[in-house]
Amino acid sequence: MMEADILIENCSEIHTLKGPDRPRRGDEMQDTSKIKNGALAVKGESILAVGSDKEIKRDVEAEKIIDASGKTVIPGFVDPHTHLIYSGSREDELAMKIQGKTYMEILEEGGGILRTVRATRKASKQRLLEESKARMDRMLAHGTTTAEAKSGYGLDKKNEIKCLEVIDELDKSHDLDLIPTYLGAHSLPPEFERSEDYIDYCIEDVLPEIADKDLAEYCDVFCEKGVFDVEESRRLLKKAKQFGLKARVHADEIENIGCSKMAAELDAISAEHLVKTDEEDIIMMAESGTIGILLPGTPFMLMEEKYAPARQMIENGMAIALATDLNPNCWTESMQMVITLACLQMKMTPSEALTAATFNSARALDRPDIGSLEKGKKADFLVLDIPNIDHLPYRFGVNLVEKVYKRGEKV
């Protein structure tokens, strides 16, 4: 008999996501390694055993037994693209957009991203901690157990470092794990006139200090027409790599100027948004292994019709992940909502969406110890109050998570 701390038994379904030890692509995304009538045993922070209810009950003794009849167990959601750290909100801009105002008009009235930059610069560290922690509490309650968090609303050195230090403090003090990304090249700050000069500043003044203080694992750039072009983005990411930061890219969101191709050439771990990505880009990313992170909440909140071509990506053997893009323009902490949008608007199947929101998103953050339920992996998992995974996109706008376990503990 094996001794476990917790045994979750009589599960209607367990989706273990066991399979090839690399990002899942093509048909592999459909296979979530489902066990019907399953059980899961936890010892300490890790998974001790997972299998059929009969098998596990025969082999495992546990101090604590939890009945999960009629429930579905899946790995904790991994959200690989969030702008978690910001101050304030912009709900009035949505109200204006609903009435037909354009983004440019809102910008001219002092709205948009620079409004959030002003608020974030003004906010004390304590205030940023409190506002961001409230979002993390909601993320965890909705089943996210690990997330990426970007800076990018400070822009200057002092404020970018302030935001990255807030990420570090939140990671240490909260059950939800955070992985930090430096996104200084999110927008051109008002102090600079030319984007190339600002990229110089990021490279010469900011990156060395971030690397020195070990404040970021990734460097990201908003590569887009009228923001930072392909050459500027490439220059920044190459330099970041020399400082030991891995590359990820905001690419092809509004226009396709060749950013996802550049991401593939640089062997970036991921290219994100990809709404305007074409077949040639998809083939390049499939070949390079760059993971596409799709953010269907963003076109939804912008009331746009076009979403990233998820089906074309899957058919061409490109690995894709899903994320919230949590930010003042797309404020959701819920990966469940993202799964609903991925299925309804991008025609992903519930199983593909689950793979994209757990296993592949863990790979998009280079975290092979999470994202699947296998012996020895971290016991980050959810008990959902649904009998099967098809309910996940089907019952939208409500929280289907009943229990969240992080490192073997109910949180």
Q: Find the helix packing angle between 125-141 and 157-173, rounded to 10°.
A: 50
Specify the residue, 51 or 152, whose C-beta has the smaller distance to Zn ion. 152
Specify the residue, 131 or 325, whose C-beta has the smaller distance to Zn ion. 325
Q: How far is the CB of 295 from Zn ion (least distance, A)?
A: 7
CB 33 within 8 A of CB 15: yes
H/E run at residue 259: helix 259-265
Q: How far is the CB of 159 from Zn ion (least distance, A)?
A: 18
- The footprint of Zn ion on residues 324-383 (CB under 5 A) is 325
The sheet with strand 177-185 has its strands ordered as 77-79, 144-150, 177-185, 218-222, 246-251, 270-273, 291-294, 320-322
Nearest residue to Zn ion, scored by beta-carbon proximity: 325
Q: How far is the CB of 373 from Zn ion (least distance, A)?
A: 29
CB 200 within 8 A of CB 188: no
Specify the residue, 82 or 336, whose C-beta has the smaller distance to Zn ion. 82
Q: How far is the CB of 164 from Zn ion (least distance, A)?
A: 16
DSSP state of 28: G
Q: Find the helix packing angle between 157-173 and 113-122, rounded to 10°.
A: 70
- How far CA 355 is from CA of 20, 24, 261, in Å, comes to 12, 8, 24
- How far CA 133 is from CA of 161, 262, 392, 398, in Å, comes to 18, 34, 26, 21
Beta pairing partners, 36: 13
Q: How far is the CB of 379 from Zn ion (least distance, A)?
A: 30
Q: Where are the beta strands (DSSP E) in 186-228?
A: 218-222
- The footprint of Zn ion on residues 291-330 (CB under 5 A) is 325
**Rounded Cα gap, residues 192 and 151, in angstroms:** 19
Q: How far is the CB of 320 from Zn ion (least distance, A)?
A: 16
Specify the residue, 325 or 352, whose C-beta has the smaller distance to Zn ion. 325
Q: How far is the CB of 65 from Zn ion (least distance, A)?
A: 42
Nearest to 323 by CA among 153, 186, 187, 149: 149
Specify the residue, 177 or 325, whose C-beta has the smaller distance to Zn ion. 325
Specify the residue, 275 or 284, whose C-beta has the smaller distance to Zn ion. 275
Specify the residue, 253 or 281, whose C-beta has the smaller distance to Zn ion. 253
**Rounded Cα gap, residues 42 and 374, in angstroms:** 11
Specify the residue, 24 or 246, whose C-beta has the smaller distance to Zn ion. 246
Q: How far is the CB of 81 from Zn ion (least distance, A)?
A: 6
Q: Which residues bind Zn ion (CB under 5 A)?
A: 325
